[in-house]
């Protein structure tokens, strides 16, 4: 059975995007971002998501918030509730007010986390098999998972991330349908690997190079899987399962450590 979410997304245009600070190993302030290219890549991603059959809502960009484009980190959507992120790094914390304002003006009930835990939204939490799978260590705290579970009344499974280059869950895990997911176990500790093994009946297991090409950071719309570049082996496996892969290059955004999925936030997730 196909995913029952992923038909409505929030995206934020890269008007004020740039690499202005370094909070993950991909970011280097001295590497310039080409804003025209970034705009083209973003427009193309948006068009690709739409032609796959999803609706895209747009969040206004804000000067001084270069990473606002990565809407996956705005927070967590669960039905009509929105849990705004509590960012680890002070550089991203001012995004929260802006995100929360959008969600409250679009009919969502804002359900805040306590101030003393970090959690970076859908970047570190994805639904699969009736639970919310959530990563921790580099950005989100392990403690946030218990809090989230209570707050939303949902089962949350925790996964420890171990590779600083794969610092968010959505760089290592991508739900494809109710049985399958793209997984990058090199990003998890031994216990985390067991958690996913028990949860995902048919994993598409990436090797290191494949994982580092950010192909787990895909946007899945029905049977369409949208990723920056598709390694040949991964493409064959996905096609064998009946998926169509569409490449949508996001090189400018990779300079900030974000791929296709990071640039989107699914607005139609409902687990409870």
Residues binding ligand ARG (CB under 6 A): 23-24, 27, 67, 70, 72-73, 92, 123, 168, 170-171, 256-258, 262
Q: Give Cα 272 to chain centroid, integer Å.
A: 20
Contact 44, 228 (CB under 8 A): no
Is 260 an annotated catalytic residue? no
Identified catalytic residue from 119, 168, 230, 260:
168
Cα 137 to Cα 159: distance, rounded to the nearest angstrom? 9
CB of 168 to ligand ARG, least distance (A): 4
Question: Which residue, 166 or 221, has its beta carbon nearer to ligand ARG?
Answer: 166
Q: Are strands 180-183 and 202-205 parallel, antiparallel or unpaired?
A: parallel
Nearest residue to ligand ARG, scored by beta-carbon proximity:
123
Residue 33 Cα distances to 16, 229, 253, 260, angstroms: 11, 19, 8, 17
The number of CA neighbours under 13 Å toward the Cβ of 198 is 12
Identified catalytic residue from 12, 215, 260, 262:
262
CB of 71 to ligand ARG, least distance (A): 9
Cα 254 to Cα 179: distance, rounded to the nearest angstrom? 29
Question: Which residue, 214 or 243, has its beta carbon nearer to ligand ARG?
Answer: 214
CB of 242 to ligand ARG, least distance (A): 27
Is 12 an annotated catalytic residue? no
Residue 111 Cα distances to 141, 255, 267, angstroms: 18, 32, 15
Question: Which residue, 139 or 145, has its beta carbon nearer to ligand ARG?
Answer: 139
Question: Which residue, 73 or 224, has its beta carbon nearer to ligand ARG?
Answer: 73
By annotation, the residues acting in catalysis are 168, 262
């Amino acid at each position: 059975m196909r995913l029952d979410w992923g038909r409505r997304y929030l995206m934020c245009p890269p008007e004020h995007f740039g690499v202005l600070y370094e909070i993950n190993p991909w970011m280097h302030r001295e590497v310039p971002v080409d804003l025209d290219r970034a705009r083209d890549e973003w427009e193309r991603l948006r068009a690709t998501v739409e032609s796959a059959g999803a609706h895209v809502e747009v969040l206004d960009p804000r000067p001084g918030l270069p990473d606002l484009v990565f809407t996956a980190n705005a927070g967590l959507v669960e039905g009509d509730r929105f849990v705004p992120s509590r960012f680890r790094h002070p550089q991203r914390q001012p995004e929260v007010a802006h995100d929360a304002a959008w969600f409250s003006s679009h009919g969502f009930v804002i359900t805040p986390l306590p101030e003393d835990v970090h959690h970076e939204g859908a970047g570190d939490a994805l639904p699969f098999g009736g639970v919310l799978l959530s990563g921790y260590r580099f950005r989100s705290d392990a403690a946030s998972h218990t809090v989230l579970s209570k707050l939303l009344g949902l089962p949350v499974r925790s996964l420890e991330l171990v590779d600083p280059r794969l610092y968010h869950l959505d760089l290592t895990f991508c739900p494809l349908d109710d049985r399958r997911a793209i997984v990058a176990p090199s990003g998890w500790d031994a216990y985390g690997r067991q958690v996913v093994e028990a949860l995902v009946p048919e994993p598409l297991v990436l090797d290191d190079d494949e994982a580092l090409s950010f192909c787990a950071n895909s946007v899945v719309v029905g049977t369409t899987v949208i990723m920056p570049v598709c390694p040949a082996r991964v493409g064959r496996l996905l096609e064998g399962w009946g998926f169509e892969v569409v490449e949508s290059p996001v090189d400018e955004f990779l300079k900030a450590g974000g791929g296709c999925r990071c640039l989107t936030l699914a607005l139609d997730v409902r687990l409870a």
